[in-house]
Amino acid sequence: MCIFCKIVNHEIPCHQIMEDDQTLAFLDIKPVNPGHTIILPKKHYKNIEEISEVDLTALILVIKKVGELLKSRLDVAGYNVNCNNDPLAGQIIPHLHFHVIPRRFGDGCVAWPQGTYGVGEAEEIVKKLID
């Protein structure tokens, strides 16, 4: 059983923000910024491709609620929503989860680098994705 399933089953304590029948939200133990929250489905899904549309909808609605709480109660300027989907993308715990990371001006948190497409590269990718 994964560590997040143990948290869902209350075998491991957490700093819970909210819980309903389908989801659980709690503070990350290694926060990027204070208020950094993990939101996950209670049912174990390895990644975003496995989750049902019903559970994904419930999850995104909780993400919205947590974001609203961070802005209104912690007075943050904004927040990032991040999902590391599969190990290559940085997913450490194999239970689908989202990070909601509060942002403050001057917090030093940097987003990923942005690149550019080479000549014809974007068109080739679009062709592969829609054909």
97 is catalytic: yes
Q: What span, in angstroms and rounded, lies between the C-alpha atoms of 78 and 67? A: 8
- Active site residue: 10, 15, 95, 97, which one? 97
DSSP string, 78-127: EEEEE---SGGGT--SSS--EEEEEE-TT----PPP---PPTTHHHHHHH
What residues are labeled active site? 97
